[in-house]
């Protein structure tokens, strides 16, 4: 079927001035190439926006960890403070009871108990101070990440706005290019168009150069000399014997 197609397209009416047979297809392909790029860009924009969002997400996660660290340190401070407070209350109670004690022995025993609790208080206070030392760098780190997030957010917002603007622009250009294609397609007869469109659904590019007059630049297959001869004449559609792409030579 392909051979019949080639032969039938190859006939040129007698006396016609030479007109490139392939040029209209090449023109069409050039417009289609632009359309493909524009369509691809439209498809890529949501993905690029998603990537930007993901970049912020990792920073948000980092900030969450830093916030949790601040909370953990603050809990250590609060716990030590609470323990210390409770010890002080115990000492107050012991001192109240001490006032009504009857023997000196009991009085001494209470003193020893109070001293022990005072040592605990010193421990809790030391722990609280150490935790307070940790709080400063933890808060600084959290603030640093927060600042970075704000700056990144501004950059991402600006970039996303640019991408949205670009999308509108690309859609407009695409619409114009499709109109241009409709015009260019008028110069391609329906049989050539049918073959071109069928192939375009499977391969790109459709029209390829026969490099050095022998090699299909679509699939790199070396063509028989007869093919090269027909391509050189440029009076019909000549296709690669392997990939079926339409061949041309400058
Ligand atoms: Zn080929």
CA distance 110 to 101: 9
Q: Is the pTM of the predicted complex or chain greater than 0.85?
A: no
Q: Of all helices (H) and strands (E), which one includes residue 246?
A: strand 246-248
> What's the whole-number average pLDDT of the chain?
92
Mean pLDDT of 197-203: 95
Q: Distance from the CA of 225 to the center of ligand 1, in angstroms?
A: 14
Mean pLDDT of 75-101: 95
CA distance 161 to 174: 20
Q: Distance from the CA of 193 to the center of ligand 1, in angstroms?
A: 19
User: How would you classify residue 126: left for phi > 0, otherwise alpha for psi between -120 and 50, otherwise beta?
Assistant: alpha
Q: Distance from the CA of 210 to the center of ligand 1, in angstroms?
A: 9
- Residue-wise pLDDT for 32-74, tens only, equals 999 999 999 999 999 999 998 898 999 999 999 999 999 999 9
Residue 7 has pLDDT above 80, yes or no: no
Q: Distance from the CA of 35 to the center of ligand 1, in angstroms?
A: 23
Q: Distance from the CA of 215 to the center of ligand 1, in angstroms?
A: 8
Residue 94 has pLDDT above 60, yes or no: yes
Question: Hey, what are 22's tokens?
Answer: 């392939």
Q: Distance from the CA of 218 to the center of ligand 1, in angstroms?
A: 5
- Burial letters 175-190, b for 16+ CB under 10 A, else e: eebeeebeebbeebee
Residue 9 has pLDDT above 90, yes or no: no
Q: What do you get for the CA distance between the two ends of the chain, in Å?
A: 27
Q: Distance from the CA of 106 to the center of ligand 1, in angstroms?
A: 108
- Residue-wise pLDDT for 154-190, tens only, equals 999 999 999 999 999 999 999 999 999 999 999 999 9
Fold of 33-186: Helix Hairpins (1.10.287)
Q: Distance from the CA of 237 to the center of ligand 1, in angstroms?
A: 14
Mean pLDDT of 141-151: 97
């Amino acid at each position: 079927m392909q051979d019949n197609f080639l032969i039938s397209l190859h006939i040129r009416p007698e006396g016609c001035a030479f007109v490139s047979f392939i040029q209209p297809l090449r023109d069409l392909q050039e417009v289609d190439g632009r359309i493909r790029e524009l369509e691809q860009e439209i498809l890529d924009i949501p993905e690029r926006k998603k990537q930007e969002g993901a970049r912020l997400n990792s920073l948000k996660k980092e900030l969450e960890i830093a916030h949790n660290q601040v909370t953990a340190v603050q809990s250590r401070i609060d716990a030590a403070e609470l323990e210390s407070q409770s010890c002080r209350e115990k000492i107050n109670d012991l001192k109240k009871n001490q006032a009504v004690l009857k023997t000196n022995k009991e009085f001494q025993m209470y003193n020893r108990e109070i001293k022990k609790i005072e040592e605990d208080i010193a421990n809790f206070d030391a722990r609280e101070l150490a935790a307070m030392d940790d709080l400063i760098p933890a808060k600084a780190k959290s603030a640093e990440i927060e600042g970075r997030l704000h700056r990144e957010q501004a950059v991402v917002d600006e970039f996303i706005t640019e991408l949205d603007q670009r999308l509108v622009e690309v859609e407009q250009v695409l619409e114009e290019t499709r109109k241009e294609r409709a015009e260019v397609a008028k110069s391609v007869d329906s049989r050539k168009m049918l073959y071109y469109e069928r192939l375009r659904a499977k391969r790109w590019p459709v029209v390829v150069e026969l490099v050095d007059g022998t090699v299909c630049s679509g699939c790199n297959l070396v063509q028989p000399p007869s093919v090269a001869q027909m391509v050189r004449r440029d009076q019909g559609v000549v296709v690669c014997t392997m990939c079926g792409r339409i061949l041309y030579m400058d």
